Structures are given as structure tokens and as C-alpha cells.
Structure 1
Amino acid sequence: MVDRRILLLAALLAFVSALFLFWNLRAPMGFILSLRFTKFAALCVVGAAIGTATVLFQTIAANRMLTPGIVGFDALFVFIQTMLVLTLGGAGFARLPALAQFGVETTVLVLAALALFSILLRKGADDILRLVLTGVIIGVLLRGLAGLAQRLLDPSEFSIVQQASFATFGAVDKTQLAIASVILVLCLVAALSIARSLDLMALGRRTALPLGLDYDRMVFVALGIVALLVATSTALVGPITFLGLLASSLAHAVLSTWRHARLLPAAAIIGAIILVAGQFVFERLLGLQSTLTVIVEFAGGALFLFLVLRRPRL
């Protein structure tokens, strides 16, 4: 039976979606609606992907203060963009086929994520301090290398890197969006199919193993889903580090449960609500552009500091 609170969240998403799509809709309605729907779909896909990935990552790491983005996804994405522009030049980067660039970026991010998570969690998910510090250090290293490479660029090429390094929903390729949507659905189905195993994983390795769970295999499966979700969403629109922390924290607060069969869809819906509602407020009501990601990162960062200082018992 579906939790009523999840149905309420779905109804809220439908309401903010209707506002985003039809608020102040004018002629030519068909053209404007098609543009709005593409942006709306991108917001939903990215929000749902990051929300789901964060819940999975927190279960693996046994800590609700962490997100996959904190271990350097954004820095790696910026480094990839910088090296592409440095190698190919501004004109060569602009001529890259969008689909090929999306595929290369997704593949590199997935492989790097699997390697990184495997190294950080090879001794289990108990060493949270090492996990966070290693991720932060890798992020600083990649940002430093990217900054060094950016000094070699001329101003026009540097502006290209800057534009490609921030999350934007205004120019999402429809083919890439369709691929990302399929990946999201498949990952959601895969995550829900192992929801009971995730419930056992949340108890910890020492407790889960005597209960018959193949803990190491499930960690690998969950990490693969996390890597695919975060890599796809990052390659599609760019990095949003702390969105997942907001979605996951709100899902836990709203549902007050540890069952992943409920937490995963709730986090996915809440992630989509945050982006769609935020974009509606800033774009339709305030008439602002490229502001949503800044606000989301600020709110998520503030929440992260609050959780660190509070030191919640998990």
C-alpha cells in the first residue's frame, strides 16, 4: 500500500508542475509550452536522480550528513570541461556533438565514481572521517588543476569553461534528456528492487551479514546505481552538490521511517519539487535567471553545517 504522505508529495509535485508549465502562458502557446516542458522534464529528472542517489549513498556510508557530490563530482566535471576546452580550443569545444560529449562525460564520471567509491569504502562504511576528508582533498586537487589549466586559456575560452561549469536548465538537449530519463527510470526500478536489502544494509555490516545479506555485493550494486545517477545528472546540466542533502533530509523528516521502499520515491519526488518550485519562483515570479542553483547550494550547505554541528545520532 502506498503511503499517504508519498501521495501528498506527488500531488504537491503535480501542483507546482502545473504552475511552472501554465503560469502566464501566452501565444504562441505550443512553442512556449514545448520549451517549458523540456526545462520541466530536466528539473524533474535531475532532482529525482540526485535525491535517490543521496539516499543510497547515505545508506552505504551509514551517515545522513553526506552526499555523493561532496566527494568531488563537481570538481571532476569542471576539470573535464576545462581539459576539453584546453585541448580542443573554444571553437573545437563548440563543434563537439552534444550527444558524444554527453556520453563521454557520463562514462568518465561513472568510471571515476566507481573507482573512488571502491577505494574509499573498501574497508566498509565506518570510516566516515576518512571518506569525507579524502573526497574533499580530491575535490581541492581537481579544482587546483582546473584552475591552473584555466590560466592558460584566453578570455573567450575561459568564459566557455565558466558557462559549462555551472548547472543550467535553459539549454538541455532533448535527446540527452530522453537518455537521462530512461537511465533514471531503470535506476529507480533497480533501487526499489533491492529496497529490503538496503534496509538490512542500514543496520550495518556486522548486523547484516548474520542475517544472510551478501553485504559486499549489495554495496557494489548500490554504488553502481549511485554512480550512474549522479554522473548522468551532472553530465546533463552540471553539478549541484547539496540538492541531495536537502531532498534526503526532508524525506526522512516527512516520512519518519527507515524503509527504503518509501524513502527512495519520497526523496526523488522532493528533489523534483525543490527544483521545479524554486525555478518557478525565481523565473516566473521574480524574473531572475541562473539563481536557483546558487540558492539550493546555499541552503544545502547551511543544512550540512547544521548537521555537522548538531552531530545527530543515526
Structure 2
Amino acid sequence: MPDKRLATLLVLLLALCAAFLTLGARGDWGFVLAWRGTRLAALLVVGAAIATATVLFQTVSGNRILTPSVMGFDALFVLLQTGLVFALGGVGAAALPALLRFGLEFGLLMGAALLLFGTLLGSARQDLHRMVLTGLILGVLFRSLSGFLQRLIDPNDFVVAQASSFASFGAIDSQLLALAAFLSAAAGLGAWRMRHRLDVLALGRDPAIGLGLDHARSVLLVLVLVAALVSASTALVGPVTFFGLLVTALADRLMRTHRHALLLPAAALIAGIALVGGQLVVERLLGLTATLGVVVEFLGGLAFLVLVLRERAR
């Protein structure tokens, strides 16, 4: 039964991809397919990266309503963008080489994530509340600094800084996409090879150690993968806070299993379906009157509230 559900998700995703590439296409097919194909690849890469990172993070944290993005990660990205505009101006920040900017963003986000998530090492369950509190405090600090810098810059530069604070799936640089896809694929392969250890990690620290697993080392490896996945996706399109929570909740509900050999591909497929299908709705039904990032954040926020209320009711 789970295999049939995965096959159904794959067929649905392939159908949506075909519709995304061909629906309403006019003119030169070579240009249309190349342009839409780049955007489609970005949607699939970002969706798979965020979904995988959220499943991994929830496994090591032992909590199904947490996501890496609520730990101050997105606020740091916004602070970096605002700092670049403040230091170089809107034109100067936009003129930075794309690869240099991507490398700077990825390196900073990766380093900050490792420092923050490193508080999980050791007695993971006991450190969970400390890690959450640290992330929330850092998020408030980063947002305050961003707001302070935005009040000091020129109004025209403020528009540039504000635009970079939201996820954008419009214009995607093919070189950055290839680099982000490589990083995400490498981290995703690492997660897949750890799928059986992840099943043991989900049991908790003491049972995992009792079964012979090196818990601290395994958690460190998982957090490195989480940092790489979130850093690559955020540096490519911008921050997406609640999307991972939405797709992992749907994957849990659909697969009804704790086996990561099923959860990881299911979450990645659902993420692709949500992003590709959402972009189709935004473009074909809403006429681009809304952005996909806003819709995703709205639905993800609702999923977060539902999960929190459900936990309180238990």
C-alpha cells in the first residue's frame, strides 16, 4: 500500500510537470521549454531540499511541529540581504556576481546553522527547549537589526532589500540552480544512505544508544545535512518558513509510517506537487495576482496552527 501511494504521488507530479511545461505555451517551443524547464527544476530542487531538511530536523529533535526555518534562519538571510544593500546600495548589491553572492549567502547560512543546531548535540531531548529559545532570540535580534538598517537606507534601496526578504520562483539563474541542485542532491543522497539510522534516531537518545548507535555522531551528520539543504534552497530562492512543516505533515498523514525509506521520498514528492501545482494555479487561475511564496506561507502557517492546537488537545 505505501508503495502504491508513492507511485500515485510520482504520477501526479509528472502530470503537473507536463502541464507546467506545455499549458498555454505559444511561440518558439525551444525558448518556452528552456525558460519553463529552469523554473520547474528550481521548484523541484527547492521543494525536495526543504522537505528532506524538515524530516531530518524533526527526527533528531523528536518534535513534529518544528522546522529549521523557525530557528532564526530566515531572519539571518534577511539581515544579510539588508546589510548588502546598506553597504553597497541597491545598485551595488544587484551588481554583485551571482556566484559570489550565492557563495557568501550559502557560507554564512551554513555556518550559522551549524552553530545553532550544534546545541542539539549530547542529550538532544534535554537541549531541545534551549535550542528553540536560542533560535527565537536570535531571530528577534536579526529582525531588529534588519529593521534598524532598513530605516537608515534610501527608500529606493529599501524596496530592493524588502523584495529579497521573500521567496521568489521567478527569474532563476541557471548556474546557481545547477550549484544548488548539486549541493541538494549530495545532501539528499547522504540522507538516503542514513535512512535506517534515522529510524533508530527517531526512537530517542537512550533507545538509540542501547541499540548500539553512536548518537552524538549521527545527530551531527544529520544536522550538517539539514544545514546544507536549507542553506542551498534559501540562497537560491529566499526564505520559506512554514512550507516544510506543511509537506511533512501531509507525508505523515498519507504514509502513516515512521520508516524514513518511505517518509523521505513521500515528503519530496508532495513538496514538488505543492510547488508545481501552486505555481500553475497562481499563473493560470489567479493571473499572477498573487505570488507562490505568499500562498505557501499562508497554507504552511495554517498547518502550523493546526498541529499546535492538536498537540494541546492531546
Same fold (TM over 0.5): yes
Residues in 1 aligned to 2:309 and 2:125: alpha-carbon distance in whole angstroms? 21
Query: 1:152-210, CA deviations, whole angstroms, 9 ceiling, x for partnerless residues?
Result: 10011111101111111111110000111111211111101011110000000011101
Q: Which residue of structure 2 aligns with residue 111 of structure 1?
A: 111
The amino acid that maps onto 2:67 is T
For residues 244-283 of structure 1, the C-alpha deviation after alignment (integer angstroms, 9 at most, x for no partner) is 0011111111111101111111111111111110000111
* Cα RMSD after superposing both structures: 1.7
Instruction: Report how many residues are paired.
Output: 314
Write the deviation string for residues 187-245 of structure 1: whole angstroms up to 9, x where unpaired.
11110101111000000001110100000000000000000000000000000001100
Matches within 5 A, 1:1-314: 3-311=3-311
Counterpart-to-counterpart distance in 1, 2:301 and 2:121: 24
In structure 1, what is the Cα distance between the partners aligned to 2:5 and 2:312?
24
Identity of aligned residues (%): 54
Q: d(CA) in 1 for partners of 2:21 and 2:62?
A: 38
Q: CA deviation at 1:67?
A: 0.5
SS state at 1:64 partner: coil
User: Aligned to 1:166, what secondary structure does the other structure show?
Assistant: coil
Unaligned runs of 5+ in 1: none
By how many angstroms is 1:130 displaced?
A: 3.2
State the SS of the aligned residue for 1:65. Answer: coil
Task: Output the CA distance in 1 between the equivalents of 2:228 and 2:312.
Answer: 29
- 2:38 and 2:312 mapped to 1: Cα distance? 39
Q: Deviation of residue 46 (structure 1)? A: 0.4
Q: CA deviation at 1:129?
A: 3.4
Matched-pair contact (CA < 8 Å) for 1:83–1:149:
yes
Structure scoring higher RCO (CA < 8 A, sep ≥ 6) equals 1
Q: Which amino acid aligns with 1:162?
A: Q
Distance 1:231 1:57 in 2: 14
- Is contact 2:121-2:220 (8 Å) kept? no
Paired residue type of 1:298: F
Distance 2:307 2:191 in 1: 26
The answer (yes or no) to whether the contact 2:121–2:219 under 8 Å persists in 1 is no
Going from structure 1 to structure 2, the CA distance change for 1:309 and 1:132 (only over 3 Å counts) comes to: farther
Per the TM alignment, residue 89 of structure 1 is displaced from its structure 2 partner at its CA by 1.6
Report which stretch shifted further, 300-309 or 69-78.
Answer: 300-309
Q: Which of 292-301 and 121-130 deviates more?
A: 121-130
Question: Displaced runs of 4+ in structure 1, greater than 2 A?
Answer: 119-123, 125-134
| TM superposition shift of 1:120 | 4.8
Would you say the 8 A contact 1:47–1:272 is kept in 2?
yes
Per the TM alignment, residue 123 of structure 1 is displaced from its structure 2 partner at its CA by 3.7
Conserved in 2, the CA contact under 8 Å of 1:61 and 1:126? Answer: no
- Partners of 2:313 and 2:125 in 1: how far apart? 16
Q: Which moved more, 1:278-287 or 1:48-57?
A: 278-287
Q: Distance in 1 between matches of 2:222 and 2:191?
A: 7
Name the SS of the counterpart of 2:284 in structure 1: helix
CA drift of 1:307 comes to 1.2
Normalised to the residue count of structure 1, the TM-score between the two structures is 0.96
> One-letter code of the match for 1:167?
A
Matches of 2:289 and 2:108, distance apart in 1? 30
By how many angstroms is 1:127 displaced? 4.3
Contact map agreement 2:122 2:216 (CA 8 A) in 1: no
| Separation in structure 1 between the aligned mates of residue 122 and residue 111 of structure 2, nearest angstrom | 16
Deviation at 1:289? 5.0
